[in-house]
Amino acid sequence: MYILGCIEILLIYIVPQAAIFKMEGLEGPEAEAAMLNNMRVYGTVVLTFMAIVVFVGVKYVNKLALVFLACVILSILAVYAGVIKTAIEPPDFPVCVLGNRTLVWKGFDVCAKVVERDNGTVTTQLWRLFCDSELLNATCDEYFTNNNISVIQGIPGVASGALWENLFGNYMEKGMYIEKVGRPSLPEAEPSAKPSSRYVLADMTSFFTLLVGIYFPSVTGIMAGSNRSGDLRDAQKSIPIGTILAITTTSIIYMSGVVLFGACIDGTVLRDKFGEAVRGNLVIGTLAWPSPWVIVFGSFFSTCGAGLQSLTGAPRLLQAIARDGIVPFLRVFGHGKANGEPTWALLLTACICESGILIASLDSVAPILSMFFLMCYMFVNLACALQTLLRTPNWRPRFKFYHWALSFLGMSLCLALMFISSWYYAIVAMAIASCIYKYIEFRGAEKEWGDGIRGLSLSAARFALMRLEEGPPHTKNWRPQILVLVSVDGELNVEQPRLLSLTNQMKAGKGLTIVGTSLKGTYLDNFAQGQQAEQSLRKLMETERVKGFSQVVISSNLRDATSHLLQAGGLGGMKHNTVLVSWPRNWKQAEDHSICQNFIELVRETTAASLALLVPKNIAAFPSNGERFTEGHIDVWWIVHDGGMLMLLPFLLRQHKVWRKCKMRIFTVAQMDDNSIQMKKDLTTFLYHLRIDAQVEVVEMQDSDITAYTYEKTLVMEQRSQILKQINLTKTEREREIQSITDSSRGSIRRKNPSSGVTAQLSVSEEQPGGSKEEKPEEESVAVSPPKQEQLIHDKSTNPPTPATPLSPSAESAITPGSEGQRTWTDPKCDGEAAKPVAGATPEGIKDLFSMKPEWENLNQSNVRRMHTAVRLNNVIVKKSQEAKLVLLNMPGPPKNRTGDENYMEFLEVLTEGLNRVLLVRGGGREVITIYS
């Protein structure tokens, strides 16, 4: 900008003959284009010369700066002297006006229509511009004929009262006549569509914001000292004093200059951009005393000096940024000469300056520069205000006379001026700044100088966490905040990476996600392993695009470590409400019984903490984030109303591109005496009000006999349970337990078959240990008749739905959450009817008695009934959902006493047998979905 101003002064006022593209005889756009081409050529030459001077050494620039400063001071003093002189003797500065329109003083010498010469009246050159001949009876322009010619003084003086005439704005549209206010004028009857070039016209549409954008760069030199802080002896002392003095000095000079110009110069001259009404003379030069050349040369050297200072400070600032590594791709510009001169930074700065010179138009360049200067000042003020408000301990400014409100006001004014000057330039500038900020944030700086936005984020996070503590979230704001429990192998790599894929598909980057794992050992000895495991978690989270936090807990045993994760994860109101853990693989073959026991204890702990639990089975078969299902179904087997988790999870999954094209089906189980039609109608209505699109199907469970397969599954389950129990006993206890089992088995066989021999007794005792001593006598019968309304975790006599889901299906198909909705395997309601007739009392029972194997006789009949129900339900699920992409099932709770933990795992295995992808869901005891939006 300074270079363009320098060239403009040179070609217009000092040596117009030096123009390469001649402007003589050209008017309008042609003359403007020639002028812009001249500025491009000479601007490039001047920029090259200045860059060479700066490259040679900053000491030469400092020496030249004193000369330039002296010229500027002399120019300012000359202007003030000229203003004082106008009060005594205003200069002769005529302006020719036709009616109230200002004429272009070109092509005529006398501002008059006719003159008296040789005792006669003759026409002037001005007459010939508006008439078709020199004669007095010639046909002339209508406006020329109807209005008089007058001459006004362009600089009437400070005592003329021109200040009141220029005090208020007079903005104009492009092509409008520049008119003298208060002069009489008779307009044409039919105004011409194209204004005549003989009048001074407004070359552009003017308004306040545009003028601010053009004027603002003139006050942008106040931070030149801070840009060269590296060259200052005591920057902490010099920068505050120098900046404040610069602001004070420039403010006084500019404000007084505006007022004095308005008081001394006529409004028509002030609005005449190119001085066409005053023969192209420099107005401020005419105003100055003693000579206009003082202003011409002062302005020329002032622009040259400002350009050199900018070309000196900008490369040093760029070099400092490059050396700090704040913007990685600028690192190459941190290199320079041996004495520290920024060679490469100077080259980049010169290239950027050349782009502005090629634009050439000062009016076009000025608003662009204003945007970036304003944005720079805005961020400086923002940083000061934020640091003060946040009370950062390391914010200790040496300048004490300061308040954050001043910085906030300055920031607000800068932002307002950006949009006032040019809203589209402001948006572009802020977009560029945002891209640079995000690039720095993404690539990271080598040297961390701190981030004020990070401090603001910490304060906002603290405020938000305190607000979350005020109460639990409303049901319509509920979303799964997931604690993902993963395990790591010997090399500290995650063993179940698909768990994070499933997390991403459920969360889509929303809400809280904590990925945690546990290590065995002591914290002091395993600290390094813990850090490595955390890095492994973060790397996998980045790969799977899971946004959240990682946490590693080290404890003496894995069970306690997992419990600590469950209890201590999250912060305040940002705690997890859902736990995602994979089904333990190969738990049957595991030599360590603790794997199975830890999983069951985790289920108990989530129930006690009122947390939802998600257990994906066969997690390796789940899709990755890159896969797509083009068709298929997500099947929900809704057996217990768990607060809506089973409804909400498929909806969340279908928001992800992996599951988007899968359709949702909901199955519910009914007994033979249930009203299946009404159940389907109620469930369809419920889903309609929930705004969930799904196909509803009611499956009727047929009564059937207990099959030999069920007995065999129960027998294998109890044998494994007994073996695992014996593994944990001491030698003496094991011998006592075996003797007890043998005695119990022999007594049972004698009661059932007194004629049996010893061989049979040994066979029973060896193949099948006795059943549990805690079971009731009626449960030790040989066989039971088919239960009339046997359920796995479904109860007919449950409470009605809660008010949170008023349109939920009837009590025959769903029950409310809480203690009523969380069935366990030891709940009597899960065992069918309490009293069962002995199978031997019926002909079918007698037939079964003779066909039964001896080892089935001591089976726990409660386990038989549960296994029977699990097998029946599994058959129905496999029949309906074997081809489904995902099956969601209610997950029952473990037994209240710990004697049947292994049985619990076996029941779940039987329940999900034959299914590829299963997600077991256990609600947290609260409503998570509502009909209200």
Residues 6+ away with beta carbon under 8 Å from 879: none
* % of the chain exceeding 90 in pLDDT: 20
Give the pLDDT score at 261. 92
Name the residue type at position 527. Answer: F
Q: Is the pLDDT of residue 836 over 60?
A: no
- CA proximity to 700, closest of 681, 672, 667, 665: 672
Name the residue type at position 380. Answer: V
Q: How far apart are CA 271 and CA 178, in angstroms?
A: 7
List Cα–Cα distances, 898 to 567, 699, 818, 824, 825, in angstroms: 22, 33, 21, 12, 11
Q: How far apart are CA 367 and CA 844, in angstroms?
A: 99
For residue 761, give the 3-state DSSP assignment: helix
Q: How far apart are CA 825 and CA 284, in angstroms?
A: 99
Tokens of residue 622, six digits: 């789940």
Largest CA distance in the chain: 167
Tokens of residue 462, six digits: 């603290």
For residue 173, give the 3-state DSSP assignment: coil
Question: Which of left, alpha, beta for 88 (phi over 0: left; psi -120 to 50: alpha)?
Answer: alpha
Q: How far apart are CA 448 and CA 730, in angstroms?
A: 61
List Cα–Cα distances, 169 to 164, 177, 410, 503, 599, in angstroms: 11, 16, 25, 63, 80
Give the pLDDT score at 634. 93
Tokens of residue 705, six digits: 């006999």
What average pLDDT does this structure show over 273-296? 89
232-236, 265-269, 589-593, 857-861: which has the minimum mean pLDDT? 857-861
Q: What is the mean pLDDT of the chain?
A: 78
Q: Is the pLDDT of residue 739 over 60?
A: no
**710, 867 Cβ separation under 8 angstroms:** yes
Q: How far apart are CA 324 and CA 332, in angstroms?
A: 12
Provide φ and ψ at 4, rounded to 5°. -65, -40
**124, 134 Cβ separation under 8 angstroms:** no
CA dihedral 448, 454, 459, 465 (to 10 degrees): -110
Q: How far apart are CA 766 and CA 49, in angstroms?
A: 106
Give the pLDDT score at 861. 65
Is the pLDDT higher at 774 or at 732?
732
The 8 Å CB, 24+ separation contacts for 59-67 are 61/308, 61/309, 61/312, 64/305, 64/308, 65/305, 65/308, 65/309, 67/301, 67/305
- CA proximity to 505, closest of 622, 613, 625, 620: 625
Q: Is the pLDDT of residue 333 over 50?
A: yes
**485, 580 Cβ separation under 8 angstroms:** yes
- Residue 755, Cα to own-chain centre: how many angstroms? 82
Give the pLDDT score at 808. 36
**Sign of CA pseudo-dihedral 807, 809, 814, 820:** positive
Give the pLDDT score at 716. 60
Give the pLDDT score at 356. 87
**198, 104 Cβ separation under 8 angstroms:** yes
- Residue 380, Cα to own-chain centre: how many angstroms? 23
27-76 pLDDT, tens digit each: 767 888 888 899 999 999 999 998 988 888 777 787 788 888 888 899 99
What band does 800 get if pLDDT is binned at 50, 70 and 90?
Answer: very low
Give the pLDDT score at 719. 56
What average pLDDT does this structure show over 183-210? 82
What average pLDDT does this structure show over 14-22? 87
501-511 pLDDT, tens digit each: 999 988 755 77
- CA proximity to 496, closest of 506, 487, 508, 484: 487
Is the pLDDT higher at 781 or at 894?
894
Give the pLDDT score at 757. 33
**713, 903 Cβ separation under 8 angstroms:** no
Name the residue type at position 630. Answer: T
Provide φ and ψ at 231, rounded to 5°. -95, 0
Residue 869's H or E segment, with its range, is helix 861-881
List Cα–Cα distances, 305 to 7, 300, 366, in angstroms: 13, 9, 18
Tokens of residue 557, six digits: 């045993």
What band does 709 get if pLDDT is binned at 50, 70 and 90?
Answer: low
For residue 20, give the 3-state DSSP assignment: coil
142-146, 180-184, 236-240: which has the minimum mean pLDDT? 236-240
What average pLDDT does this structure show over 557-564? 88
What band does 717 get if pLDDT is binned at 50, 70 and 90?
Answer: low
Q: How far apart are CA 331 and CA 319, in angstroms?
A: 8
Name the residue type at position 542. Answer: E
Q: How far apart are CA 583 and CA 618, in angstroms?
A: 7
Give the pLDDT score at 47. 92
